[in-house]
Amino acid sequence: MSNSSTKSSTFFPEPRILPGGEKEFMMDVATSDLEISMGPQHPATHGVMKILIRADGEMVTAAQPHLGFLHRCAEKIGENVEWLQYLPYTDRYDYLASMNNNLGYSMAVEKLLGCEIPRRAQMLRTICVELNRIASALVAFGTYGLDLGAFTPFLYAFREREWLLQIFEKICGARLTYSYLRIGGVFNDAPPGWLTEVGHFCDVFEVKAQEYYDLLMVNKVFVMRTANVGVITPAQALDFGLTGPMLRGSGIDFDLRKDMPYMLYGEAWDAGAFEIPVGRGEMGTLGDCWDRIYVRVKEMTESLGIVRWCLANIEEGPVLADVGKTIKVPPGEAYVGIENPRGELGHYLVSDGGKGSSRCRVRGPSFCNLAILEDIMPGTLLADAVAIIGSTDVVIGETDR
Amino acid sequence: MDFQGIYDRLKEQGAAGMQEANLPRLPDPADKKDKGRGGDPYVLVDPAQICAFMDLAKKDERLHFEILADLSASDPAVDAENFWVIYQLLSVKHRHRLMVKCSIPKSDPRIDTISGINRAAGWHERECSEMFGITFNGHPDPRNILLPDDWVGFPLRKDYEFPKEYQGISCI
């Protein structure tokens, strides 16, 4: 064994001499990239989605989302049912914001019909949509904390969401899939005392929203996990067609409610009822995960402003326009995009004058927002993968439809 | 800008392949069967020149359509020979929209990809291609996105027949 010190083995090659004179020992082991299949049932993917990650040690070198596990043929169904029958299916794209989905579809059909919506109905619509936006942001905020190991904010968020769901239950009887916003208005008027309770909720929630901000957003561990992670530059955001908080998180001040106002948002904006929070790179780089979640948390307070404005200006009146029992839609085609909690929900409807639509295309914001993962994930650490996926805030019901 | 302004600007800039504008109209009172056309106006573009058109729409200073909001297709009942490919453009800077439509023959449904101009098109084109069987020439990643790889047929075509079974599982 006398010559063992001079001969190098396969495992221990000749040591390199470091500048300080020390010997550096390395094992000669072949390394290869590791493919990790995250999902379809990974808790951090918020539903049934698979992300195939290729990792070189701790580094992600490629990521590829695989969708379609929750594909329910919504667009094909839309061609086979009548106009009003399709409404319950819209509840099921983004099941955390069903009121918004109802609104998007109803507005597209109303555009083809060219009908006027009574003012009280528009007020009730706005209140419901904004409350639903808060409920949706609460889930986004709570589960994002959960992804990063903060359990408490999740429980707090669900406490307030429970109250909101009870408020929705009082007005339409359902807790998740409402079908309350109909073509031509809303299904029924608010029950007695409902508006007072909404006002009460606003007063209580305003304090809570600040609490959430203090609890999670400025938490040192949370900031370290999210700041400078998963940066999306403004140019990238526009190129990938991101909308909603993903776009505003990258510092682009664009919200359909302000910039291309529909319903009563133009009036509310003129009255100064709300502002549009935009990411500014406060904790790190502009367009990082922290900015995106910051926009979502701040939006909750702005939605309260819109609800309050509606409560102050609501008048008595009819809540459903006369569109007839079987809706007859003239031929034509229309595209309506509205601001959903996750971005622009677009409906492209084609009517050939029949009982239902001839083409019912749904542009789900989560679908478009998810596409950017392929671009921003390579080069990040594996430990940040969950933080980045969570910050896109996808709802799989909407990506797959 | 409103639709007319956008259309005039496109004309002024000599947009490649732009054919005509289609506007909504009220029903003709003389013709009782005529129901008019509701909804949104759009421009019809020659599919062979869609890339040049999109490039101009994105780069022109006064149009500035930097976001491709949606890309989809349709198997229209009114036009049995063709598929429509529909693009929804959105300008964040000028806050206006434009609907662009291309009509491609069903016998040979192919059109150039615009994912080189707007990367948002990448996933939309994949979905469109699996649902309608439209080929996007030059697409960097032409796999299925929502459907399984071995799915037979194109579900959103009007003549699609629902399969009786899939991998031994009855669908009826």
Helix, strand, or coil (residue A124): helix
Would you list the DSSP string of A282-315? SSSSTTSHHHHHHHHHHHHHHHHHHHHHHHHH--
Count the domains in chain B: 1
* pLDDT given at position A28: 61
- Considering only CB atoms, which chain A residues are within 8 Å of B90? 337, 344
* pLDDT given at position A303: 92
CA A309 to chain centroid: 24
User: Which structure tokens are listed for A296?
Assistant: 């979502």
Identity of residue B126: R
- CA proximity to A186, closest of A118, A133, A136: A118
- Comparing CB atoms, the residue among A254, A335, A401 nearest residue B40 is A335
Closest Cα of chain A to B48: distance in Å? 23
Rounded Cα distance, A336 and A334, in Å: 7
User: Which structure tokens are listed for A59?
Assistant: 């580094």
- CA proximity to A292, closest of A221, A232, A380: A232
For the cut 60, the answer to whether the pLDDT of residue A12 exceeds it is: no
Question: In this predicted model, what pLDDT tens digit does every residue of B26-63 receive, in sequence order?
Answer: 777 777 777 777 778 889 888 888 888 888 888 888 88
Q: Do B40 and A333 touch (CB under 8 A)?
A: yes
Tokens 């409902």 identify what position?
Answer: A194
- Considering only CB atoms, which chain B residues are within 8 Å of A329? 38
**pLDDT class of A394 with cuts at 50, 70, 90:** confident
* Residue in chain A nearest B66 by alpha carbon: A238
Q: Report whether B90 contacts A335 (CB < 8 A).
A: no
- Comparing CB atoms, the residue among A75, A335, A354 nearest residue B88 is A335
Q: Report whether A352 contacts A155 (CB < 8 A).
A: no
In order of A12, A14, A84, the CA distances from A2 in angstroms are: 17, 16, 89
For the cut 70, the answer to whether the pLDDT of residue A10 exceeds it is: no
Q: What is the mean pLDDT of residues A84-112?
A: 90
| Domains of chain A, each with CATH number or no CATH | 73-400 (1.10.645.10)
For the cut 60, the answer to whether the pLDDT of residue A7 exceeds it is: no
**Percent of chain A scoring above 90 in pLDDT:** 28
For the cut 90, the answer to whether the pLDDT of residue A8 exceeds it is: no
* pLDDT given at position B87: 92
* pLDDT given at position A2: 44
Rounded Cα distance, A309 and A195, in Å: 12
* pLDDT given at position A30: 67
Question: In this predicted model, what pLDDT tens digit does every residue of A119-157 receive, in sequence order?
Answer: 999 999 999 999 999 999 999 888 888 888 888 888 988
User: Which structure tokens are listed for B127?
Assistant: 């979905």
* pLDDT given at position B35: 73
Closest Cα of chain A to B67: distance in Å? 5
Regions in chain B scoring below 50 on pLDDT: none
* pLDDT given at position A105: 92
What range does the domain containing B144 cover? 3-170
For the cut 90, the answer to whether the pLDDT of residue A281 exceeds it is: no
Closest Cα of chain A to B41: distance in Å? 8
User: Which structure tokens are listed for A291?
Assistant: 């900015």
Contact partners, residue B81, CB within 8 Å, separation at least 6: B105, B106
Closest Cα of chain B to A89: distance in Å? 17
Lateral strand order in the sheet of A50-56: A34-38, A50-56, A59-66
**Pairing verdict, β A332-340 and B82-91:** unpaired
CB contacts < 8 A (A, B): 122
- Sign of CA pseudo-dihedral B38, B39, B40, B42: negative
**pLDDT class of A169 with cuts at 50, 70, 90:** very high
- CA proximity to A368, closest of B149, B125, B131: B125
- Comparing CB atoms, the residue among B70, B74, B131 nearest residue A346 is B70
* pLDDT given at position A25: 62
Encode burial over A251-276: b for 16+ CB neighbours within 10 A, e otherwise.
bbebbbbbebbbbbbeebbeeebbeb
Q: Do B88 and A254 touch (CB under 8 A)?
A: no
* CATH number of the domain enclosing B88: 3.30.460.80
In order of A321, A344, B39, the CA distances from A325 in angstroms are: 11, 30, 21
Phi, psi dihedrals of residue A50, rounded to the nearest 5°: -115, 135
Rounded Cα distance, A383 and B96, in Å: 40
Closest Cα of chain A to B24: distance in Å? 7
* pLDDT given at position A29: 65
* Residue in chain A nearest B84 by alpha carbon: A359
- Considering only CB atoms, which chain A residues are within 8 Å of B95? 259-260
Q: Within 10 Å of residue A247's Cβ, how many Cβ atoms? A: 30
